[in-house]
Each structure stands twice: as C-alpha cells, then as structure tokens.
Amino acid sequence: MTRTRAFPDRRAAGLRLGAELRRREWHDPLVLGLARGGVVVAHAVAETLDAPLDVAVARKIGAPGHPEFGVGAVTATGDATFDARTLHALRLRPEDLREARESEQAEARRREQVYLRGRDPESRTGRDIILVDDGLATGVTARAAAHAIRGDQPRSLAFAAPVCAPEAAAGLKADVDEVVCLLAPDDLRAIGEWYVDFAQTSDEEVVDLLGSGPA
C-alpha cells in the first residue's frame, strides 16, 4: 500500500472506519451518510456497527468563477454556513453569494426528495449520531450538515471519515463532539488521491444503499 491510494474504494474504507468506530460505546446510534459519496462509506460503517443508516444532504457554495472552491455550504432548509476567513480573504460577503446559495439549497431539497422517496427521515432526537463522509477537505459541507443535525437535538454528534485534512478536522471540533479520521495527512490536496477507485456516486446508488440498509 502506497502513501496515497490508501483505500481500494469507499466500501473498503467504510469497513476500516467502522472497525475503528466499533471500539467506542454508542447509545441508540444512527449513521448518516453525507450524499453522495459518503453514503457508500456510511453503509459499510452501519453494517459494521449493526446500526440503522440514513442520509444527510449538504451542498457546497462555490466561490464566484470557481465553483469547486467551497466558501460555504447549505442544507435543504435553514441558513447557509460560511467560512469567515475564506470570505474575508476573497473580499466576499454572504449576500454576494445569495444566488449560489439559493441554487444549491434547491438542489439539496431535490436530492432529499429523491433519496427519502416520500418517507420521513430517521429520528435523530436523543440518539448518538455518526455523520460520515468519504473525506474531509475544507469541512464546509460537514459543518453545514452538523448545524442542521444539532437542531434535531441528538444525544451526541460525531463526524467520521477515512481521510481528513488536519486543519479542517481541528476546525470541525467546534461543531461536533468528536472527529474520527483514519488518516490525517499534512499534504492532503484531493480526497480522491487516497482511493484507488473514487468513481462518482450516482443518485440511484444512494437510493439503493438506503433501501437495502446495512448488509
């Protein structure tokens, strides 16, 4: 195994992450996969913990002219979460990104409807919630999802991912009770560099995984 390409694919990474999470005690746990790719990892985590699986949706708000560079994120409802330092560095205000926020929030609502297929989401109140993604780069989507989950009054909220940027992981600790990362490389540039197979996850795959529950 080389320094990069540490994980064959998302499922293999999820099984390793689940084994690490199984070392802890959980009260009525619920595993939430951040759509899309995080659901594949979360499915394996839920299988390992013998816990129910559901989905969390958060959409990155990109910088003007550079949509892949996240300056914030938003869920299907509620306010957007922005990285204040990034806004300051780019001389942006939240109101400058109103159109992007509205577009991404509409897409988050669409995806929730597709994934939930008319059912209510699993209750999060009073439970230990484990929010899972396939990696943590800037942390903006994880923070937005965490803020939304906190509104549901969980007993605790942990974030877990196979690979995390150390700075993002440290910053996320203000929003969750625990951050669990298998790898935290100082030179993380792109999450996909740490996977052999990092093919895009489709809406159909997310729906199938949620429908099957833990294997």
102 inside domain: no
192 inside domain: yes
- The reported pTM is 0.92
User: Is residue 52 within 8 Å of 30, Cβ to Cβ?
Assistant: yes
pLDDT in tens, 101-150: 999 999 999 999 999 999 999 999 999 999 999 999 989 999 999 999 99
CATH number of the domain residue 126 falls in = 3.40.50.2020
74 inside domain: no
Specify the number of domains making up the chain. Answer: 1
Q: How far is CA 192 from CA 9, 19, 37, 114, in A?
A: 10, 22, 11, 25
15 inside domain: yes
Nearest Cα to 24, choosing from 54, 55, 45, 52? 45
148 inside domain: yes
38's CB contacts (< 8 A; 6+ apart) are 56, 132, 133, 134, 161
pLDDT in tens, 74-94: 999 989 999 888 899 999 999
Q: Residue 213: its pLDDT value, please?
A: 59
Residue 149 domain boundaries: 10-57+122-212
112 inside domain: no
62 inside domain: no
4 inside domain: no
pLDDT in tens, 27-39: 999 999 999 999 9
User: Per-residue DSSP letters for 150-199?
Assistant: HTT--SEEEEEEEEB-HHHHHHHTTTSSEEEEEE--TT---GGGGBS--P
Furthest C-alpha separation in the chain: 48
